[in-house]
Structure 1
Amino acid sequence: MIEIDGSMGEGGGQVLRSALSLSCLTGQAFHIYNIRKNRSKSGLMRQHLMAVQAAARIASANVAGDRLGSPELSFLPDRITPGEYSFDIGTAGSATLVLQTVIPPLLAARKASRVTVIGGTHVPFSPSWNYFAEIFWPSIARLGVRGETEAGSFGFYPKGGGRVTCTVQPAEALAPYQVRERGRLTRLRIVSAVGNLPRTIAERQLQAALSGLKGRLERGLPMDIETRELTIFGQGTFIFIKGEYEHAVAGFTALGERGKPAETVGSEAAREFLEHHESGEPVDPHLADQLVLYLARASAGSLFRTSRVTSHLATNLLVAGYFLKLACRVEGSEGEPGAVAITPIPQ
């Protein structure tokens, strides 16, 4: 059984989620301790417990330690079973992180699967649904992942209640990812949305983002701009900025919260987008770590450049190395642009 110290790397839930994905995929059992030790409230929270339960269901796993607050967990997977699954987190825990836990193993199933998750779709410290559907999913589709994404409703902290669905087709082999240049920026898309709050808040978020971007992008750049009023449980706001380049896409989300001015939300998203854009690199910092589990089982070596090397990227590479034979190299310091090479070694 593989032993994993959950405090390694970024020391959060990512260590656990990646281990669950790879355990199901490879059939290797693992024991993890010090779960989320580097967080203020360590141990399994509800969204992490749902990721465990979701992985256990698709792989008919035997699990010990799967309870709220548990600092350790043992996971012994069996065979992956395709099918129709529904998981209700019961809180505003991230629905996209649960989906990202089960997608890699379901790619190795014999038939297609359909997974619905109820929870938070636009919540802190996780990919927003817009990012998942418009950045992450097209990027793994480029590797050979086939399926569809659908959002029935959105959910915000603390009420949750969002409902999202993903269908996953089997994929015997995934293509490598070779992206060293992104080309020119061809289009910008901005969505500013509110749920059960005045539309003027979405408009203020949008205007702040546009003000932050003014004079920093190419003249005449095509832009798709949208303000939305959502029907949700509770209240919430977000703004999402998507950059479409010739050879890459990148996205950034900022979330509203009580006491946070709409102008701050819009400016935050614009600032994060510009930091990426002005680096000249193709892969945004969030996508860089999210690609690791897919490139670790690609048919050949991958090489890409990212605008910022993160602890999440380093952590995913470390966890992948427990389950798969890989040759990995990261050039660049944490917080700076860098290059990432991932080469699977035939077993």
Structure 2
Amino acid sequence: MAIPAGRGGMEGEAVIEIDGSHGEGGGQILRTALALSCVTGQPFRIVGIRKGRQKPGLMPQHLMAVRAAARISGARVTGDAPGSTDLVFAPGAVVPGEFQFDIGTAGSITLVLQTLILPLLLAAGRSTVILTGGTHVPFSPPYHHLAEVFAPLLARIGGKVHLAIDSYGFYPRGGGRVRCVVEPAVSLAPLATTSSGRSMRVSGLSGVANLPFAIAERQRRSALDTLSAAGIRADIGLLDAPSPGKGTFLFLRRLVGELPSGFSALGAIGKRAEAVGEEAAAELVRHHRSRASLDPHLADQVVPYLALAQGESTFTTSCVTRHLLTNLWVVGQFFALRHRIEGEEGEVGQVTISR
């Protein structure tokens, strides 16, 4: 059974009311609502956008997500202004094509793509999106998580995206450039995985941009030492990343069978290279010891896709996050979603989703 693309918001159609301060109260509520509005054609109004944040309302990254979603769907929008806390979004039909968006800051490219991939996946043809902004910035999954963890899992349930990075963007300069090709999907399959098993492969990348290459080597060594102490072997490469700015990162990918998970850390002024490597490796060790299937980032990212799948999905995650709980709530504003969570927030849990 094909999944319908957005049918277009019609005059007089009921508008879904969404409280932007619910749960974790951040930009994810807006991004998920935009994606599902484009998919279903249901208009929505969101109030209290990022109400609990130090700087409430729409920041450049969120504003770009709104305008990009409006561009692919021909939406009517009110409230799309910097700092706005109240927005109305009424989409038309999603039309595939070639799109370019420049966030204009180090705002996260991966978070804007979270808004666009789902509706473009369910459109009638292939789309190409080129985005300029931040690729490895705080408070968002880095490019490598999207390309090496999210994309392979999406392929497992029937969605195909191809990602390439031309340049790296770090805070505060930005300037990263990513190309994303989204292939149309007829339907999405459910996901059934509750244990990650024991056999695994760990690989990674330690990168620097416009900084001494020795920093990448120190990050790598620290990560390898932390993993080795936990009995985990890894192959971590080194990268001198092309970028208009300065920055460092370390990314680790854990692969069990065909099931990926990802863990990362960023450098910062005053943060030792050894702390970067240890941070990412310690996250991987915690996930490994939990024996859960999905890492915390992936668990909340996949929720809207599984809500559209044909059948019941079950997975475990090493941490039931507030982001996961909030995303389930947002999806429930658009669909009669049934879900069950076994486990408390902040702990290992099992999630079941069906419609």
Give the alignment's TM-score, normalised by structure 2: 0.94
1:247-276: per-residue Cα shift (whole Å, max 9, x none)? 521110100011111111111111111111
Provide structure 1 residue ranges, at least 5 long, that are not aligned to the other structure.
none
Contact 1:283 1:305 in 2 (8 A): yes
Taking the aligned partners of 2:340 and 2:40, their CA distance within structure 1 comes to 23
Amino acid at match of 1:240: F
1:172 pairs with one of 186, 190, 212: 186
1:206 pairs with one of 220, 223, 236: 220
1:333 pairs with one of 338, 344, 351: 344
Residue number in structure 2 paired with 1:226 = 237
Taking the aligned partners of 2:244 and 2:88, their CA distance within structure 1 comes to 35
Residue number in structure 2 paired with 1:255 = 266
Amino acid at match of 1:238: F
1:105 pairs with one of 119, 131, 134: 119
Taking the aligned partners of 2:227 and 2:182, their CA distance within structure 1 comes to 37
The DSSP-based 3-state class of the residue aligned with 1:184 is coil
The DSSP-based 3-state class of the residue aligned with 2:163 is strand
Taking the aligned partners of 1:236 and 1:198, their CA distance within structure 2 comes to 10
* 2:105 counterpart of 1:91: yes
Taking the aligned partners of 1:45 and 1:38, their CA distance within structure 2 comes to 14
Residue number in structure 2 paired with 1:181 = 195
Amino acid at match of 1:265: V
Amino acid at match of 2:38: C
Residue number in structure 1 paired with 2:276 = 265
Contact 2:151 2:160 in 1 (8 A): no
1:323-347: per-residue Cα shift (whole Å, max 9, x none)? 1121111110001000000002xxx
* 2:144 counterpart of 1:144: no
The DSSP-based 3-state class of the residue aligned with 1:214 is helix
* Residue-pair matches, total: 341
The DSSP-based 3-state class of the residue aligned with 1:115 is strand
Residue number in structure 2 paired with 1:307 = 318
Taking the aligned partners of 2:343 and 2:229, their CA distance within structure 1 comes to 29
Residue number in structure 2 paired with 1:54 = 68
* 2:327 counterpart of 1:316: yes
The DSSP-based 3-state class of the residue aligned with 1:69 is coil
Amino acid at match of 1:57: R
1:271-300: per-residue Cα shift (whole Å, max 9, x none)? 111111111111111100000010000011
Taking the aligned partners of 1:163 and 1:129, their CA distance within structure 2 comes to 10
Residue number in structure 2 paired with 1:14 = 28
Taking the aligned partners of 2:31 and 2:83, their CA distance within structure 1 comes to 16
1:298 pairs with one of 295, 303, 309: 309
Residue identity (%): 55
The DSSP-based 3-state class of the residue aligned with 2:314 is strand
1:73-100: per-residue Cα shift (whole Å, max 9, x none)? 0000011111000110000000011111
Contact 1:91 1:119 in 2 (8 A): yes
1:15-48: per-residue Cα shift (whole Å, max 9, x none)? 0000000000000000001000121110000000
Contact 1:310 1:334 in 2 (8 A): yes
Amino acid at match of 2:142: S
Provide structure 2 residue ranges, at least 5 long, that are not aligned to the other structure.
1-14
Taking the aligned partners of 2:108 and 2:314, their CA distance within structure 1 comes to 29
Compute the displacement of 1:184 (Å): 2.1
2:256 pairs with one of 245, 258, 261: 245
Residue number in structure 1 paired with 2:5 = none
Taking the aligned partners of 2:55 and 2:74, their CA distance within structure 1 comes to 29
Contact 1:92 1:161 in 2 (8 A): yes
Amino acid at match of 1:253: S
Taking the aligned partners of 2:152 and 2:213, their CA distance within structure 1 comes to 30
1:163-217: per-residue Cα shift (whole Å, max 9, x none)? 1011111112100000012122321102100000000101111111111112312
Taking the aligned partners of 1:150 and 1:51, their CA distance within structure 2 comes to 20
Taking the aligned partners of 1:169 and 1:250, their CA distance within structure 2 comes to 23
Amino acid at match of 1:262: A
The DSSP-based 3-state class of the residue aligned with 1:166 is strand
* 2:92 counterpart of 1:78: yes
Amino acid at match of 1:12: G
Which aligned pairs between 1:279-294 and structure 2 lie closer than 5 A?
279-294=290-305
Contact 1:239 1:253 in 2 (8 A): yes
Taking the aligned partners of 2:263 and 2:78, their CA distance within structure 1 comes to 37
Taking the aligned partners of 1:232 and 1:56, their CA distance within structure 2 comes to 29
Moved over 3 A (4+): none
Taking the aligned partners of 2:107 and 2:161, their CA distance within structure 1 comes to 24
Taking the aligned partners of 1:65 and 1:90, their CA distance within structure 2 comes to 19
